[in-house]
Amino acid sequence: MTRQTVKTSLRWPTAVALLVAAAAHVPVIPEHLHEAPYMGALFVAFTAVAAVLAVVVAVRGTAPAPFVAAGVLCAAAIVAYCLTRLIAFPQLGDDVGNWGETAGVIAIASEAMVVALSVVAGVWLYGPRRWTRQVAAV
């Protein structure tokens, strides 16, 4: 796979998956800002950063850094979602065990796709050894 192949094959699916992940958070922002303001603020930040990264990936699809950033952002979101389903966070105790919430499932699926596409793009743009070092540096 060449840089051109990555540019044409991976940047658009990655950008779209980032936008879907961002959009999945939008409907639940108001309720989280009201019930757990810290989580609502994180949802706003995630939505903004994911949307910006979608544009950056679409425009600079041969640069590895946006793929790394997107993958790390979405991996962190997946971990946070899982933690809120396993542990009662302050003001979010009712989320424990609620794995089937529609917006959450959509967000997790699109975030997992971003992580997978970012790994593929990173390996092809960086090479396996440099990719591992780049992710470790983040």
69-98: b or e for each residue (b if 16 or more CB lie within 10 Å)?
bbbbbbbebbeebeebbeeebeebeebeee
Rounded CA-CA distance 10/14 in Å is: 6
Which residues of the chain, if any, have pLDDT below 70?
1-8, 126-138
What pLDDT does residue 64 have? 81
Rounded CA-CA distance 5/50 in Å is: 23
Mark residue 127 as left, alpha or beta (left: phi above 0; alpha: psi -120 to 50; beta: remaining): left
23: its two tokens: 């959009």
**Residues 111/125, Cβ–Cβ less than 8 Å:** no
How many structural domains does the chain have? 1
What pLDDT does residue 9 have? 81
pTM to 2 decimal places: 0.84
Neighbouring C-alpha atoms within 13 Å toward the C-beta of 8: 4
**Residues 134/66, Cβ–Cβ less than 8 Å:** no
**Segments forming the whole domain that contains residue 12:** 3-137
What pLDDT does residue 120 have? 87
What pLDDT does residue 134 have? 60
What pLDDT does residue 132 have? 62
What pLDDT does residue 100 have? 84
What pLDDT does residue 131 have? 54
